[in-house]
Amino acid sequence: MEINIYISGVGGQGAIRLGQIIADYALQKSKKIKLFKEVGMAQRGGAVHCEIRIGNVFGSRIPPYSSDATVVMELSEGLKALEFVKPGGTVILNNHKVYPIDLMAQPEKYPEFQEIEALFKKTKAKIIWIDAKKIAKEIGLPVAENMVLLGTLSQILSFDKRVILGTLEKNIPCEIEKNLYAFQEGYRITKGIKK
């Protein structure tokens, strides 16, 4: 079985860490894995994306319209992922604006939520909105936004929960309890959504 996952965001959101944890999870499950990551010029605020391919795949880049799950950590950056979204796949949209560097000088050019949603709906993928930043703040660890999204993604892709939690414990250097709680919240609120 082949699974393609595309993650987009900006520097500082933990997109690369999220990709690395998913890749490590696949290794724990004895799956073949390919990981491609691209980091923008700036550590904070620069464009970041990560492509994870699990299974019998050739090459680390996801072909157009082949992403089974797309995680959009920052909405305007997520528009760059549109060409990868698979019809019938799933898009997880984080309901949070982080102005990328190229929009900081002209925030009025930031697209409206409705515009972004309309463009993703055209892909014929299932759209899941989640406010990962709000959940992470309520937990008391705002940087755990990526863990909330990992919980959501794990539920959608039916990851082995015991293995992914073990992978998290191995990969998170500090605040492990809050990170695990953030994961559990993302997992919980996505339960019941048709896969």
Cβ neighbors of 59 (< 8 A, separation 6 or more) are: 34, 53
Phi, psi dihedrals of residue 66, rounded to the nearest 5°: -125, 5
In whole angstroms, what is the distance from residue 73 CA to residue 8 CA? 6
Q: What amino acid occupies position 110?
A: Y
Q: Does domain 3-101+123-190 have CATH number 3.60.15.10?
A: no
CB atoms within 10 A of CB 45: 20
Sequential pLDDT tens for the chain (195 residues): 789 999 998 887 888 899 999 999 999 998 999 989 887 655 666 788 899 999 988 888 999 999 999 999 998 888 989 999 999 999 999 988 877 666 667 777 788 888 888 999 999 999 999 999 999 999 999 999 999 999 999 999 999 999 999 999 888 888 889 999 999 999 999 886 755
Which stretch of DSSP H or E encloses residue 20?
helix 15-28
Strand extents, DSSP E, the chain: 3-10, 33-39, 47-54, 67-72, 85-94, 126-130
